A and B are shown apart, each in its own frame.
Chain A
Amino acid sequence: MTPENVQITVNGQRHTVAAAPATPLLYVLRNELELNSPRFGCGLGRCGACLVLIDGQAAWSCLVPVGEIGDAAVTTLEGLGTPEAPHSLQDAFIAEQAAQCGYCTPGMIMRAAALLAATPHPDEETIRTALAGNLCRCGVQQRIVRAVRRAAEAQP
């Protein structure tokens, strides 16, 4: 795991980071780029806490080696919106108070962002199915579904 220079594009910016190419993207995002939102949950792609978008597709950053990202565009929650210019999902999660501890929240929002990009007006069944791979131990599922519906309604 000797660090090399690896180039990745995250939230629209090209970075050269020091990391062994086999390093899971998650550790590079958190420790090199100091992004807080991708979170370690299981390291096995079974909880969704680490979800980011890679070229618009939801991907488990705990499983993707940083050396395989190449020219693909990585988007984290920080790149989705900001307090000054929030994404409709961020607005909706606050409006619905759709969190308790909030550890799973970034992954939920990223999964929902991928869904809404592909299917702007999903029905409830589609939302639940899309989110089924994201776990929330606090039991906020119903609020999260409401928040995704609210964000979908805010879309053109």
Chain B
Amino acid sequence: MSTYQTGRLTSQELAAEPFGQRDLAPERIDTWLAIAPDGRVTVFSGRVELGTGVATALAQIAAAALGVPLDAVTVVMGDTALTANQGYTAGSKTVQGTGPILHSAASAARAILVERASARLDSPADQLTVTDGAVHAARDPSRSVSYGELAGEGFGATFEVAPEAEEPGAGVSAPRLDLPGKIFGGVSFVHDLRLPVMLHGRVIRPWVRTPTGAGARLIAFDASSVDDLSGNIQIVQEGDFLGVVADREEQAIVAAARLRVAWSEPEDLPAQAELFDWLEGLPVSEHRVLVEAGGVEDALANASRTVSVTYRFPFQAHASLGPSCAVADVQPDSTTVYSATQGVYPLRDALADLLGRDPATIRVIHMEGAACYGHNGADDVAADAALLSRAVGKPVRVQWSRQDEFAWEPKFPAMSITVRAGLDKAGKLAAWDYTVRTPTHGSRPSGRAANLFAGQLIAPGTPLVTPWRGGGDRNAVPIYDLPAHRIAADWVPMGPLRSSSFRSLGGFANSTATECVMDELAALAGVDPVAFRLQHLSDPRARAVVETVARRAGWDAPLASTLGAQRGRGIAFMRYESEFAYAAAVAEVTVTPVAGAIRLDRIVIAQDCGRVVNPDGLRNQIEGNIIQAASRALLEQVAWDDHHVTSLTWADYPILTFTEAPDIEIELIDRPEEPAFGAGEVTTCVAGAAIGNAIANATGIRLRTMPFALAPGANAPS
């Protein structure tokens, strides 16, 4: 029998502990870590846990640099009263970005502690050693003083961040600190927060609300329709924002369903069947050439063979397993909001704008939600809770329904990518002309009420602030040795559904299009797809992942056949954002004849993320990104009718299940001498393309619209 220490990672529990008025200047050591008299280390991270295990990785980095055991470290994440402003936790960048900060702060702290020990022990610092949170004489371990005794009031010093950690990190698999809490029923999520007095709220939405403000308006509601309900029902209305508050959760659910509301007739949404005609007909708000060299038009005209193709991607949902939830307590002079937001400071500022309050009076405390994979409903539900709490003067918890989440969470937007490419006589790339058409992938709170869904309902027509255009073009520039090329982005207005950031943003689409076209070109050249890629890759780390995945997948051996079925395999490669992690994938599929059902049998990944901090945690992330990307590639698209999203339940928005999940094999190429790169999203980007290429290999049919599905009979022999 084993026993476990359940984790204690929620900011909410730590908020009860005194840290005084914290100065959060980022150059101060004390901003990032504190050591208590009992030797316990608290790390303060502005980046938050999103279910990927980064809390554990950051604890590992701090523990290694300080010289303390991992279980002596507690990580406080995302609290505007306790942690520095690090913006949003996004882009698989927490280990990459915050790791060096913590490593540097902890190394500076350790040097100060050793200096203090030197005075205490009357011994030169260079003759002292650190073991398990104590400084002792190297030759006489009995002459020792603990970190707890040395820490005193803190460090009072500043430090500089070494951009690349000089010392290797732990590099050892550490079990997740938060798992025991989740496996024994501890308070783990914002959903589990129970304040002593807490009412329950629900929000009633109009049918449709496009980001441009077009859509149904609130005409009237009939308060008498909930008169007979118990639970001290209160109705809250501000503009088109309409909600109910009740004593108990089930009472709020019933009241929201029962309240009779009249909405105006909204304009029709673009027909889903004509989504891509609509998208491709939108006026371009900005055309930007990302890179261009060598005269691509001439090169295309002179190419011996060319392809000209368009790849298309539908709206997709983050589809977090737990619908968004928040608790807010808005009092006249102070506001506390508990939220699974990816950015406590941007949300705080947006709530200040929404409530008309001074941001300094608002404290936003991160508590985990079900993993979000990007900008889902987490911020919006916090605004819902804040408006309801302000109206009733008590703390209010709001949890969205499954249908709320599918209908209203910001979506991965539909995208369309056109590639014209040509080969020279030798079958090598001669021209590459690539244009991605995309709306914004960034409509996070950004300190503005209008970016919160409730803000749109209160002030219809206020444009969303999308200060950051990027994202749609992520991974549009591959690292292949390109001859004449032009890579451009056409930004178009936001579509019928609000769009924002979803795992790798446009990277998933750009990598899929790029890597599928590379296969189309390899086929045109009559060259093996692995060999074709290697012909155009000179970066040795890129070549290494391609060669490794091919070897591990048995690329040169024929696939075992399945009687009567079509089998195929495909490869994809990419370097994330052209400058971070490298990954290559080989997918194997089986396609049933005539019916055309596609089964993903196996995916092999080779990945190089530089220095690996937590190998098992990294493997877990890679596995998860493979399965989610496979689900997106094969199954997922948001559907709607004239007025409303219609994929509102798991029946209408199926995701990959246990019986469909592929076998997964992973080769990690650890490079301890290299900086750690973000690890998760690069895998998502290669998995989709490898699947598309495998289907083409199996059937001879090139699918260019996601989700990849064959019409029944499409692969039947003619």
A positions within 8 Å CB-CB of B:
1-3, 19-20, 23-24, 27, 30-31, 34-37, 39-44, 46-47, 49, 76-78, 81-86, 90-91, 93-94, 97, 99-106, 109, 127-129, 131-132, 134-145
Contact = CB atoms under 8 A, between A and B. Distances in A.
12 contacts: A46-B650, A47-B321, A77-B183, A83-B184, A91-B2, A99-B176, A101-B321, A106-B183, A135-B650, A139-B656, A141-B657, A144-B658
B391 interface: no
B624 A100 contact: yes
Interface size, B (range) = 35 or more
A128 to B, nearest CB: 4
B371 interface: yes
Interface string B342-373: 00000000000000000000000000111101
Contacts of A105: 182-183
A135 to B, nearest CB: 6
A35 B650 contact: no
A86 B183 CA distance: 10
B193 to A, nearest CB: 10
A50 B626 CA distance: 26
Contacts of A77: 183-185
B180 interface: yes
Contact of B402 (A30, A44, A143): A44
A39 B179 CA distance: 16
Given A83-B6, A83-B180, A97-B179, 13 more contacts: A3-B230, A30-B249, A36-B188, A41-B321, A47-B321, A49-B322, A83-B184, A86-B184, A99-B183, A103-B320, A135-B650, A139-B624, A142-B623
B250 A23 contact: yes
A137 B182 contact: no
Given A1-B231, A103-B189, A142-B664, A137 B628 contact: yes
B322 A103 contact: yes
By Cβ-Cβ distance, the 4 closest A-B pairs, closest first, are A101-B51, A139-B627, A102-B182, A101-B371
A94 B183 contact: yes
Contact of A43 (B185, B402, B621, B664): B402
Contacts of B4: 83, 86, 94
Nearest to A34: B194
Contacts of B562: none
B322 A39 contact: yes
B250 A138 contact: no
A81 B249 contact: no
Contacts of B230: 1-3, 20
A84 B3 contact: yes
Contact of A47 (B50, B183, B191, B650): B650
Nearest to A84: B3
A137 B371 contact: yes
B623 A143 contact: yes
A78 B95 CA distance: 33
Interface string B47-59: 0001111000000
B70 interface: no
Contacts of A128: 658-659
A44 B626 CA distance: 27
A156 B67 CA distance: 42
A137 B659 contact: no
Given A78-B184, A140-B624, A40 B175 contact: no
A31 B249 contact: yes
Nearest to B198: A31
**Interface residues of chain B: helix, strand, loop or mixed (majority):** loop
- Most A CB contacts (10 A, CB to CB) among B2, B250, B373, B623 go to B250
A22 to B, nearest CB: 8
A78 B188 CA distance: 13
B187 interface: yes
B399 interface: yes
A35 B185 contact: yes
A24 B249 CA distance: 11
Contact of A40 (B6, B178, B191): B191
B658 A132 contact: yes
Given A39-B322, A90-B183, A100-B51, A135 B189 contact: no
Contacts of B289: none
A140 B619 CA distance: 11
A78 B192 CA distance: 14
B130 interface: no
Contacts of B231: 1
Contacts of A141: 627, 656-658, 661
Given A41-B322, A86-B4, A131-B658, A31 B248 contact: yes
B335 interface: no
A82 to B, nearest CB: 6
B319 interface: yes
A36 B185 contact: yes
A46 B191 CA distance: 19
B370 A101 contact: yes
A105 B184 CA distance: 10
Contacts of A139: 623-628, 631, 656, 661
Nearest to B340: A101
B557 interface: no
A20 B250 contact: yes
Given A94-B179, A140-B620, A101 B628 contact: no
Contacts of A36: 185-189, 192
B196 to A, nearest CB: 12
B620 A97 contact: yes
Contacts of B625: 139
